[in-house]
Amino acid sequence: MTEVVAIGGSAGSLPVVMAILKALPVAFDYTVIVVIHRLKNVVSEMERILAEASNLNIREPEDKEPIKKGIVYLAPQNYHLQIEADRTFSLDYSEPVNYSRPSIDVTFECVATVFKGRSVAILLSGANADGAAGLGKVIENGGTGIVQEPNTADYKLMPQAAIDKNKRALRQSPDDIVDYVSTVNSSQKPRE
Amino acid sequence: MAERHITNDDLVEILHLINRTYGYDFSDYSRASIKRRIHRSMDMSNLETAYELKFRLANDAEYFRWFLEVLTVNVTEMFRDPEFYTELREKVFPALATYPIIKIWHAGCATGEEVYSMAIMLKEAGLLERAKIYATDLNPLNIEKAKKGITSLQHVKSYTHNYIRSGGKTDFSDYYSAQYGAAIISSELRKNILFSQHNLVTDQVFNEFQLICCRNVLIYFNKDLQNRVISLFYDSLSPMGYLAIGTKESLLFTEVRDRFEVISAENKIFRRKKSSTSIK
Ligand SMILES: C[S@@+](CC[C@H](N)C(=O)[O-])C[C@H]1O[C@@H](n2cnc3c(N)ncnc32)[C@H](O)[C@@H]1O
């Protein structure tokens, strides 16, 4: 039983994130958490684009907001998105980690600590090494770590760093990732 | 990055040691944040184990002063979130203007940038003469810096930009003088401000205010502590007094949300409801 699917990406990851979200079932019984690096001071256009692209319940959580199922949470720009043991989000405005805020490592590590084996972490295209350590924590705690096959990524550095660091990470193409996520917690076959 | 790891038990012991030795109680801070802060301080000071950290904290007060700086996140800026200041001017100042003396509390003021921004706005609204601003922080080093009214010249450009976006009325350079790479806030703005140390965890109500600003502090607290601190603010506000919190912070998840009405959902400005009963 998966409780959380956490997706991290940077440069070049947006099309894959969109494809994953579009393929989500209308109702799903887990939580999706998306952490994408964004430029400072860019108004969160992305939230709007993503919400339009797929009739989803998608939101940027506020501090101490309880985590619910069936919702896509987007890390707000300029804050680290953390998760507390009581399954609430907490935001953090301290210095960037891996030159990034939000940092994928920060969120993935929290997911690993709180949701242990009931979590899936997916790391996509990007031009820095954020996420590799967090993905490792998820795997270490019994969760599943998936990395976009670097050959299919616009920017290979991020997925490659994660693969180099984590021998047990699964390498998948964007299509496979979409299939994987759309069938989490269901025995159904993915739609053709 | 080194792979240092402190367990939850270590964390509890470290926080206990700090409280016993220095009197700061961090036990109800957000666990995820405080753990990352402690890891970071260990990274920066090359400490490998929780044992080493405890030893250092127990025996070296100078180290603790430094450590406290890392633990409490001090990032701040002038006119941070310009739209917040715009709304404050439009929706709160008219009410403040009806009081003969306007008392304002900045709780968790860090190095004072937010306080000086407020003073500028009050001045432009013709209210500064009547204002008494109390600015407090847990960290004595922050208070020392805030009192000096010096901010780095390198940030002035972005502060000027924020100031303009917030609807500032004159030239931002009227408010500081540049000296040796620093910007010194004009003394006129500083005269109605009282900086002092106050810990939101352990210290009490000390006055009654028409406006309390506590921005980007509550996110470092857990839910229990948030409830207690918001109650403290409730008890420190005059009836119909205003409370402003950080843009990502929320009263929605606290027990006291019904005691306040929303003035700006976007910029997190609230007003204490009239009822005069205190909480608890
Ligand atoms: C991120 S700064 C916020 C500064 C400013 N209010 C702003 O929004 O730009 C957080 C401040 O809260 C202070 N702080 C943390 N815990 C506190 C406590 N228990 N009581 C008072 N201040 C506290 C820290 O020392 C730090 O200066």
The overall average pLDDT reported for chain B is: 94
Strands, E assignment, B126-202: 131-137, 150-152, 176-179, 182-185, 193-197
Contact B87, B269 (CB under 8 A): yes
Share of chain B above pLDDT 70, in %: 96
Question: Is A144 contained in some domain?
Answer: yes
User: Does ligand 1 lie within 6 Å of residue B76's CB atom?
Assistant: yes
Of A62, A79, A84, the CB nearest to B32: A84
Range list for CATH 3.40.50.150 in chain B:
82-272
Coil, strand or helix at B261:
strand
Of B1, B219, B252, the CB nearest to A91: B219
Contacts of B141-145 with C-beta under 8 Å, sequence gap 24+, read B141/B65, B141/B68, B141/B69, B142/B72, B142/B74, B142/B109, B142/B110, B142/B111, B142/B112, B143/B195, B143/B196, B143/B197, B145/B111, B145/B112
Q: What is the pLDDT of residues A138-158, one digit of tens each?
A: 999 999 999 999 999 999 999
Distance of CA B36 to the CA centre of its chain: 20
Number of domains in chain A: 1
As its CATH architecture, domain B82-272 has 3-Layer(aba) Sandwich (3.40)
Mutate-to-test residue for ligand 1 from B70, B75, B136, B137, highest number of ligand atoms within 8 A of CB = B137
State the first-to-last Cα distance of chain B, in angstroms, to the nearest integer: 46
What is the rounded distance in angstroms from the CA atom of residue B239 to the CA atom of residue B100? 15
Rounding to the nearest 10 degrees, give the CA dihedral for residues B7, A133, A38, A51.
-80
Q: Which of B79, B62, B64, B73 is nearest to B14 (CA)?
A: B64
Report the pLDDT value the prediction gives residue A41, as an integer from 0 to 100. 42
Question: Is A187 contained in some domain?
Answer: no
The complex's ipTM? 0.89
Domain containing A81 equals 4-182
Report the pLDDT value the prediction gives residue B279, as an integer from 0 to 100. 52
Question: Is A43 contained in some domain?
Answer: yes
Burial class (CB in 10 A: 0-12, 13-18, 19+), A40: exposed
What is the rounded distance in angstroms from the CA atom of residue B170 to the CA atom of residue B164? 9
Q: Global pTM?
A: 0.92
Report the pLDDT value the prediction gives residue B109, as an integer from 0 to 100. 98
Coil, strand or helix at A172:
strand
Higher per-residue pLDDT: A191 or A57: A57
Report the pLDDT value the prediction gives residue B181, as an integer from 0 to 100. 85
CATH code (residue A160): 3.40.50.180
Question: Is A191 contained in some domain?
Answer: no
Give the pLDDT band (50/70/90) at residue A127: very high
Contact B70, B42 (CB under 8 A): no
Question: Is A85 contained in some domain?
Answer: yes
Question: Is A190 contained in some domain?
Answer: no
